[in-house]
């Protein structure tokens, strides 16, 4: 069999030159596209993709992998969490994008049309951002290929697997995985790591997840069994926002099971003398992410809770 080759590429996306690695195996197989750095400070996912893609070059591979370790270059360079600094828009709310929009919308459009479309599967790697603690999980969207997407999410091996449906209950719209699902590409968002750190365990979880995806797609042999937790399937993803600005203090943490009505945090005045708001769990569930910074704006995101 021909050896696997690795080619460094520079993708022209919305006027940015985005570094990518194009890894082609010695036999035919699917095209797997892997993105990281859609959010600029989610370092564990970026670090994992950088390591994994380079290692792939020395392995037997069927098909092709296109790996983009840092898509949102301006956010990465400026250390800007959540958004593209040029326009303040969240890139993962802009898919499938707009060719004549702002930078985030054009970057989404070019990524979707030039990189995602034509792929046989999409993995979009994330973590908690600069001020977010996170329990590892994978998310997929309802759609024609959702069984395959669910298989990818389960294979990634992060434990919690959340399904999202279009409609008013969906916590987030405009994601890469939702846009891919709409054109029939099985896609997942894989989350591990957080708080602006390169965490060894999270990097390893991502690397192993990508290896399991390769095996599921028949692109490489399965590795040795590891200690990945079995999937727990959840169908509701509830994001809680504060009312007032102030000092956010969670009293429950990521990975914790909470009961409906349980107090899970407060927003108090900066001087500590007034309780502006007591936050209670809206349902029984598990905390998937918690804003780790005490500084919250009026209407700011506090946490995400997944429920059955
Ligand atoms: Zn993210």
- B/e letters for 78-99, b = 16+ CB within 10 Å, e = fewer, are eebbbbbbebebbbbbbbbbee
pLDDT in the model for residue 118: 95
C-alpha span between 202 and 204 (Å, rounded): 5
Banded pLDDT at 81 (limits 50, 70, 90): very high
Note the pLDDT of residue 165: 87
| Residues 122-130, mean pLDDT to the nearest whole number | 98
Phi-psi region at 159: left, alpha or beta (left = phi > 0; alpha = psi -120 to 50): left
Taking only the tens place, the pLDDT of each residue in 149-194 is 999 999 999 999 999 988 777 778 899 999 999 999 999 999 999 9
What's the pLDDT score for residue 166?
A: 83
pLDDT score at 168:
72
Three-state SS at 104? helix
CA of 187 to the centre of ligand 1 (A): 15
What pLDDT, on a 0 to 100 scale, did the predictor assign at position 84? 98
The pLDDT, as a whole number, for residue 158 is 97
Tens-place pLDDT, residues 41-56 = 999 999 999 999 999 9
Cα 272 to ligand 1 centroid, rounded to whole Å: 31
Q: How far is the CA of 132 from the centre of ligand 1 (A)?
A: 10
pLDDT of residue 285: 97
For residue 84, give the DSSP letter: B
* The pLDDT of residue 131: 98
pLDDT over 90 for what percent of the chain? 92
What is the pLDDT at residue 170?
Answer: 77
240-275 pLDDT per residue, tens: 999 999 999 999 999 999 999 999 999 999 999 999
Q: Is residue 202 within 8 Å of 156, Cβ to Cβ?
A: no
What is the distance in A from the centroid of ligand 1 to the CA of 137? Answer: 12
Residue 225 confidence (pLDDT): 74
Residue 218 CA, ligand 1 centroid: distance in Å: 28
The whole-number pLDDT of residue 137 equals 98
Check if the beta carbon of residue 253 is closer than 8 Å to that of residue 266. no
0.95 exceeded by pTM: yes
pLDDT band with cut points at 50, 70 and 90 for residue 1: confident
In 3D space, the residue among 236, 107, 209, 194 whose CA is nearest the CA of residue 155 turns out to be 209
* 227 CB neighbour count, 10 Å cutoff: 6
**Chain centre distance of CA 104:** 17
CA of 126 to the centre of ligand 1 (A): 4
Average pLDDT over residues 98-109: 98
Ligand 1 midpoint to CA 261 (Å):
28
Could you tell me the CA-to-CA distances from 107 to 60, 166, 224, 302 in Å, in that order?
Answer: 33, 23, 38, 27
Distance in Å, CA 274 to ligand 1 centroid = 33
pLDDT value at 59 more than 80? yes
What are the pLDDT digits (tens) for 204-239? 999 999 999 999 999 999 877 778 889 999 999 999
Instruction: Look up residue 43 and give its two tokens.
Output: 């370092």
Residue 77 clears pLDDT 90, i.e. is over it: yes
Stretch 122-138: mean pLDDT, rounded?
A: 98
pLDDT of amino acid 121: 98
């Amino acid at each position: 069999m021909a050896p696997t080759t690795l080619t460094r590429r520079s993708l022209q996306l919305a006027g940015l030159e985005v570094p990518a690695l194009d890894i082609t195996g010695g036999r035919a197989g699917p095209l797997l596209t892997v993105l990281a750095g859609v959010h600029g400070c989610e370092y564990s996912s970026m670090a994992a993709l950088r390591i994994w893609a380079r290692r792939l070059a020395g392995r037997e591979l069927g098909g092709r992998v296109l790996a983009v370790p840092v898509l949102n270059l301006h956010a990465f360079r400026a250390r800007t969490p959540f958004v593209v600094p040029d326009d303040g828009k969240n890139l993962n709310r802009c898919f499938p994008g707009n060719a004549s929009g702002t930078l985030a919308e054009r970057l989404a459009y070019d990524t979707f049309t030039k990189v995602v479309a034509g792929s046989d599967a999409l993995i979009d790697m994330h973590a908690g951002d600069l001020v977010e603690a996170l329990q590892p999980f994978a998310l997929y969207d309802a759609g024609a290929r959702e069984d395959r997407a669910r298989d990818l999410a389960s294979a990634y091996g992060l434990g919690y697997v959340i399904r999202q449906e279009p409609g008013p209950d969906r916590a987030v719209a405009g994601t890469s995985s939702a846009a891919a699902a709409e054109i029939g590409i099985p896609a997942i968002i894989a989350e591990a790591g957080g708080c602006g750190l390169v965490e060894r365990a999270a990097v390893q979880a991502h690397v192993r997840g990508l290896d399991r995806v390769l095996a599921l797609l028949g692109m490489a042999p399965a590795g040795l069994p590891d200690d990945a937790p079995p999937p727990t399937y959840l169908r509701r993803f509830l994001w809680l926002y504060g009312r007032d600005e102030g000092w956010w203090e969670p009293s429950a943490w990521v990975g914790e099971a909470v009961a409906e009505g349980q107090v899970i945090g407060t927003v108090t005045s900066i001087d500590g003398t007034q309780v502006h708001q007591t936050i209670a769990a809206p349902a029984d569930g598990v905390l998937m992410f918690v804003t780790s910074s005490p500084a919250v704006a009026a209407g700011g995101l506090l946490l995400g809770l997944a429920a059955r």
